[in-house]
Amino acid sequence: MNHFEYRGGAFCCEGVKLAEIAEAVGTPCYVYSTATLERHYDVFRSAFGTRDVLVAFAVKANSNIAVLATLARKGAGADTVSQGEIERALMAGAPASKIIFSGVGKTAEELTFAVKAGVHQINVESRAELELLAEIARGLGKKAPIAIRVNPDVGAGGHEKISTGKGDAKFGVSPEQALALFARAADDPHLHAQGLAVHIGSQIRDLAPLEAAFRVMRSLAEKLRGDGIPIERLDLGGGLGVPYFNEPDPPSPAEYAAMVGRVFDGFDIGLSFEPGRMIAANAGVLVSRVVRLQERPRPIVVLDAAMNDLIRPAIYDAYHGIKPLNQPKGAEQAYDVVGPICETGDTFTRNRMLPPLEAGDLVAFMTAGAYGAVMASTYNARALVPEVLVSGDTYEIVRRRWDVAEQLKLETLPSWLATKA
Ligand code: LLP
Same domain, yes or no: 395 and 347: yes
Q: Is the CB of 156 under 6 A from ligand 1?
A: no
Task: Please report which residue ranges of 150-200 form alpha helices under DSSP H.
Answer: 175-186
For residue 240, what pLDDT is reported?
97
Angstrom CA distances, 421 to 18, 54, 418, stand at 50, 62, 9
| CB atoms inside a 10 Å sphere around CB 177 | 15
Q: What is the CATH number of the domain that holds 228?
A: 3.20.20.10
Residue type, 13: C
What's the CA-to-centroid distance between 401 and ligand 1, angstroms?
26
Q: What is the CATH number of the domain that holds 296?
A: 2.40.37.10
Same domain, yes or no: 380 and 256: no
Query: Chain centroid to CA 16: how far?
Result: 25
In tens, the pLDDT along 297-336 reads 999 999 999 999 999 999 999 999 999 999 988 899 999 9
What's the CA-to-centroid distance between 239 and ligand 1, angstroms?
6
User: Is 232 marked as binding a ligand?
Assistant: no
* 251, 273, 295 - which closes a domain: 273
For residue 329, what pLDDT is reported?
84
Q: Is the CB of 241 under 6 A from ligand 1?
A: no
User: Is 51 marked as binding a ligand?
Assistant: no
What's the CA-to-centroid distance between 61 and ligand 1, angstroms?
7
Q: Which residues are catalytic?
A: 342
User: Is 371 marked as binding a ligand?
Assistant: yes
* Residue 404 CB partners (closer than 8 Å, separation 6+): 378, 381, 382, 383
Q: Is the CB of 239 under 6 A from ligand 1?
A: yes
For residue 169, what pLDDT is reported?
78
Same domain, yes or no: 321 and 404: yes
Angstrom CA distances, 339 to 173, 257, 345, 362, stand at 41, 40, 9, 14
Q: Which atom of ligand 1 is nearest to the CA of 375?
A: 16
pLDDT band at 73 (very low <50, low <70, confident <90, very high): very high
Task: Please classify residue 405 by burial: count the beta carbons closer than 10 Å to its beta carbon, then call 0-12 exposed, 13-18 middle and 19+ buried.
Answer: exposed
What's the CA-to-centroid distance between 201 and ligand 1, angstroms?
7
In tens, the pLDDT along 119-160 reads 999 999 999 999 999 999 999 999 999 999 999 988 777 777
For residue 229, being part of any structural domain is answered with: yes
Phi, psi (deg, nearest 5) at residue 69: -70, -40
Average pLDDT, the chain: 96
Closest-CA residue, ligand 1 atom 3, reads 199
Domain span including residue 169: 103-273
**Strand runs labelled E in 178-244:** 191-197, 233-235
Using alpha carbons, select from 235, 217, 48, 221 the residue that is nearest to residue 145. 235
In tens, the pLDDT along 192-225 reads 999 999 999 999 999 999 999 999 999 999 999 9
The Cα–Cα gap between 97 and 118 comes to 7
Closest-CA residue, ligand 1 atom 16, reads 371
* Residue 99 CB partners (closer than 8 Å, separation 6+): 56, 77, 78, 79, 80, 86, 89, 90, 117, 119, 120
Using alpha carbons, select from 209, 203, 208 the residue that is nearest to residue 277. 203
For residue 83, being part of any structural domain is answered with: no
Angstrom CA distances, 49 to 52, 211, 258, 259, 403, stand at 9, 19, 10, 13, 46
Same domain, yes or no: 306 and 402: yes
For residue 259, what pLDDT is reported?
98
The Cα–Cα gap between 25 and 359 comes to 19
Same domain, yes or no: 260 and 129: yes
**Strand runs labelled E in 232-311:** 233-235, 270-273, 284-294, 300-303
Q: Which atom of ligand 1 is nearest to the CA of 204?
A: 15
Residue type, 39: R
Using alpha carbons, select from 245, 242, 265, 262 the residue that is nearest to residue 253. 242
For residue 227, being part of any structural domain is answered with: yes
For residue 328, being part of any structural domain is answered with: yes
In tens, the pLDDT along 227-273 reads 999 999 999 999 999 999 999 999 999 999 999 999 999 999 999 99
Rounding to the nearest 10 degrees, give the CA dihedral for residues 310, 314, 320, 324: 70
Ligand 1 binding pocket mutation candidate from 121, 202, 316, 317 (most atoms within 8 A of CB)? 202
Same domain, yes or no: 186 and 242: yes
Q: Is the CB of 371 under 6 A from ligand 1?
A: yes
Q: Is the CB of 244 under 6 A from ligand 1?
A: no
pLDDT band at 52 (very low <50, low <70, confident <90, very high): confident
Q: Is the CB of 202 under 6 A from ligand 1?
A: yes
Same domain, yes or no: 388 and 367: yes
Please provide the DSSP assignment of 293-334 as one string: EE-SSS-EEEES--TTT--HHHHH-----EEESBPP-S--EE
Q: How many domains does the chain have?
A: 2
Task: Give the CA diameter of the chain.
Answer: 78
What does DSSP assign to residue 91?
Answer: H
User: Is 276 marked as binding a ligand?
Assistant: yes
Ligand 1 binding pocket mutation candidate from 59, 60, 82 (most atoms within 8 A of CB)? 60
For residue 170, what pLDDT is reported?
85
Q: Is the CB of 102 under 6 A from ligand 1?
A: yes
Q: Is the CB of 104 under 6 A from ligand 1?
A: no
What's the CA-to-centroid distance between 33 and ligand 1, angstroms?
21
